[in-house]
A and B are shown apart, each in its own frame.
Chain A
Amino acid sequence: MEIMINLLQERENRASLQKQICRKYPYPLVVVKANIPGEDKRSLIETIVACEGYFALKELDIKYLHTTYSIEGLIFYLSVDFPIEVLKRFCVDIEENHPLGRLMDIDVFVSQSQISRRDLNMNPRRCFLCDEIAHVCVRQQTHAEDDIEHFIVDTFKRYIKSNDFYDRWQRMIQTALIGELIKPLGYGCVTLSDSGSHSDMDALLFIQSAHAVSKKMAYAHVYSNDFDQLRAIGKIAEQQMLKTTRGVNTHKGAIFLLLLVMAGLQHPDPVMHISFLCKDILHDFDTDDQSHGMRLFKQFGVTGIRGLAKEGFKDLFKRYYPYFQSKPIDDTFLWLIGQNPDTTLMYRGGMSLYNECREKAGNTDKLQDRMEFDRWMKIQGLSPGGSADMLSAIILIDCYLWIMEEKNDEQTDKDRVRRYLGIK
């Protein structure tokens, strides 16, 4: 009950924010969010749905862009310089025809009042499950919650499992990179709620970068046996990242890791395959490259991500992923910080802070301790970016195994509902 009251309060706050934006920017305002019933909308599916709505609109002439993240989930606000009627029709088209469109809510406002489908003589929105007008089914509570959940997860699964292999991999990689941001506490990393220890990046930058790099990385699905080709695609993705973020390194480590995981997943034994692909990778250290990993090797002799790759990321596949299968995302991330040899941490903090951080991460059972650890990491300016990359890799593995399941297993789908929708 209390959480419902919060949701109503949050909606009023948002209405007043929308008014403010409309007053300040004299353009139609488009508000993009997930249209999924529930009391707390901070889940993976809802986040991806909102992002896809934004990606469908991002080529328009956007004069102002803002995001909020609350119990209402992730919401995008776009002031768009475009004729109102065409804009509304385009938004309805996305809602009707995008693979995740049925789960999106794309509202259009002009001088503070909302344009409805009815204003343009268009048919009202239909219910998820039957032909009735959506308002009527909501009001009557016609459908069981289970059936609605099933529809939502099924729609999401169909989106990920596109018949087009390029789309499939692009969506899985993008989901993995954005999914990592929903961790409730970042311990210095960027999350949807805050920028952690970083002054030069925020969630929106990560979301934009995830979209841009995944569009390049997806080409790699046909090169799972060709290390040089993977590396070339990695370089292109990296360049796309720098262009999108204007020079900020949001995903360099993640690109390297996920491209190899992607290649590994397409073989019966991913660990063996990655380790085979990377058999010569430590020769990198003979060159003069100036990346973080190279400097750490020269300073401490740490082989970092390259060393892990040479072993086929065996901890990721044999220990980290199984851990995630039975734990909430926050537990997994915290545990990863304590387990994963994270060179981002070493690079930012040096060896003594690195060790202190790993020890602290292992001693935080209570929420209060976790919040304290989160504060401590921010004060120290530390950021376990390598562990965040591992979290993305875990989500990628999970998505891949999910869509590759031979038959539709109600129980595994239900487990995923719980994990992705955040339903306890």
Chain B
Amino acid sequence: MMNRPIKTGSAGTLESNDCLVTIEVNSDDSVIIHLESVVKARFGKQIELTIKETCEQLNLVGAIVSVNDKGALDFTIKARVETAVKRSL
């Protein structure tokens, strides 16, 4: 079963070692990921991969996923994306 957001949902904070994830409705079926991170230069690719994998596990479609990362661990990023998606359904 596919998960398609019907409203904007967000989770997380802008604290150190956390991230703020916002899920918005996309006009088509694709999933677009925007990442801002305090460690983007060094870990941007890795973090984007974590976000992408989490979205795939959740069978997410038609979403714009914006992540503002303040140095969160993968575990935190994954948990925040999951909660934000839940809140957008």
Number of A-B contacts (CB under 8 A): 46
Contact A139 B79 (CB under 8 A): no
Cross-chain contact B43 with A139 (CB below 8 angstroms): yes
Interface of B (DSSP majority class): loop
Distance between B74 CB and nearest chain A CB, rounded to angstroms: 9
B79 CB, nearest partner CB in chain A, Å: 6
Query: A5 contacts which chain B residues (CB < 8 A)?
Result: 79
A135 and B15 contacting across the interface, CB-CB below 8 Å:
no
Contact (Cβ within 8 A) B80 A8: yes
Pick from B6-14, B27-35, B51-59 the stretch touching chain A. Answer: B6-14
In the assembled complex, how far is the CB of residue B44 from the closest CB belonging to chain A, in whole angstroms? 11
* 12 residue pairs bridging A and B, Cβ less than 8 Å apart: A8-B18, A8-B79, A14-B13, A15-B13, A15-B15, A35-B16, A114-B14, A133-B39, A134-B71, A135-B17, A135-B71, A138-B71
Q: Is A136 an interface residue (CB 8 A)?
A: yes
**A11 in the interface, Cβ–Cβ < 8 Å?**
yes
Q: A82: shortest Cβ distance to chain B, in Å?
A: 22
Per-residue contact bits, chain A 34-56, to B (CB 8 Å; 1 contact, 0 not): 01000000000000000000000
**Partner of A12 from B11, B17, B70, B71 at Cβ < 8 Å:** B11
Residues of B within 8 A of A (CB-CB), count: 20
Given A11-B13, A12-B13, A15-B13, also A138-B80 (CB < 8 A): no
Q: Does A167 contact B (CB under 8 A)?
A: no
User: Interface range on chain A: under 10, 10 to 19, 20 to 34, or 35 or more?
Assistant: 20 to 34
A107 proximal to B (CB < 8 A): yes
Q: B75 — which chain A residues lie within 8 A by C-beta? A: 4
The distance in angstroms between the C-alpha atoms of A416 and B66, with both chains bound, is 43
A139 touches B71 (CB 8 A): yes
User: Are A11 and B71 interface neighbours, CB within 8 A?
Assistant: no
The reply to whether A135 and B13 form a contact with Cβ atoms under 8 Å apart is: no
Q: Are the C-beta atoms of B73 and A139 separated by less than 8 Å? A: yes
A144 → chain B closest CB, angstroms: 16
- Is B45 in the interface zone, CB < 8 Å from A? no
Q: A8-B80, A138-B73, A139-B73 are in contact. Are A105 and B39 (CB under 8 A)?
A: no
**Shortest 10 CB-CB contacts between residues of A and residues of B:** A135-B71, A15-B13, A135-B39, A135-B38, A11-B13, A139-B39, A139-B43, A8-B79, A138-B71, A114-B14
Residues in A with CB closer than 8 Å to B73 are 138-139, 141
Q: What's the Cα separation between A12 and B18 when bound, in Å?
A: 10
Chain B residue numbers with a CB within 8 Å of A4 are: 75, 79
Q: Which residues of A contact B (CB under 8 A)?
A: 4-5, 8, 11-12, 14-15, 35, 105, 107, 113-114, 124, 133-136, 138-139, 141
* Bound form: Cα–Cα A133–B38 in Å: 10
Select one of B17, B79, B83 contacting A138, CB under 8 A: B17
Does B12 contact A105, Cβ atoms closer than 8 Å?
no
Q: Which residues of A contact B12 (CB under 8 A)?
A: 8, 12
What is the bound-complex CA distance between A90 and B42, given in angstroms? 30
Cα of A136 to Cα of B13 in the assembled complex, Å: 19
Bound Cα distance A4, B12 (Å): 13
**In the complex, residue of chain B having the shortest beta-carbon distance to the beta carbon of A114:** B14
Q: Could you say which residues of chain A place their CB within 8 Å of the CB of B13?
A: 11-12, 14-15
Whether B18 and A11, one on each chain, are in contact in the complex, defined by CB atoms closer than 8 angstroms, is: yes
Task: Give chain A residues whose Cβ lies under 8 Å from the Cβ of B17.
Answer: 135, 138
- Docked CA distance A136–B43 (Å): 9
Residues of A within 8 A of B39 (CB): 133, 135-136, 139
Chain B residues within an 8 Å CB radius of A133: 39
What CA separation (Å) do A278 and B18 show in the bound complex?
Answer: 56
Residue of B whose beta carbon sits closest to that of A109:
B14
Please, how many angstroms separate the alpha-carbon atoms of A264 and B37 in the complex?
55
Identify B16's interface contact among A15, A105, A136, A141, CB under 8 A.
Answer: A105
A107 and B15 contact, Cβ closer than 8 Å, known pairs A135-B71, A138-B71? yes
Contact residues of B between 36 and 89, Cβ < 8 Å to A: 38-39, 42-43, 70-71, 73, 75-76, 79-80, 83
| Chain B residue at minimum C-beta to C-beta distance from A107 | B15
User: CA separation between A139 and B17, bound complex, in Å?
Assistant: 9
Q: Nearest Cβ in chain B — how far from A234, in angstroms?
A: 43
Known: A124-B38, A135-B38, A141-B73. 18 other contacts (CB 8 A): A8-B12, A8-B80, A8-B83, A11-B13, A12-B13, A107-B16, A133-B39, A134-B71, A135-B16, A135-B17, A135-B39, A135-B70, A136-B42, A138-B17, A138-B73, A139-B39, A139-B42, A139-B73
Closest A-chain residue to B76, C-beta based? A8
How many angstroms between the C-alpha atoms of A107 and B70 in the bound complex? 13
Considering only CB atoms, which chain B residue lies closest to A31 in the complex?
Answer: B15
Q: How long is the Cα–Cα vector from A141 to B76 in the complex, in angstroms?
A: 14
Whole-angstrom distance between the alpha carbons of A114 and B38 in the complex? Answer: 14
User: How far is A8 from B12 in the complex, measured between Cα atoms in Å?
Assistant: 8
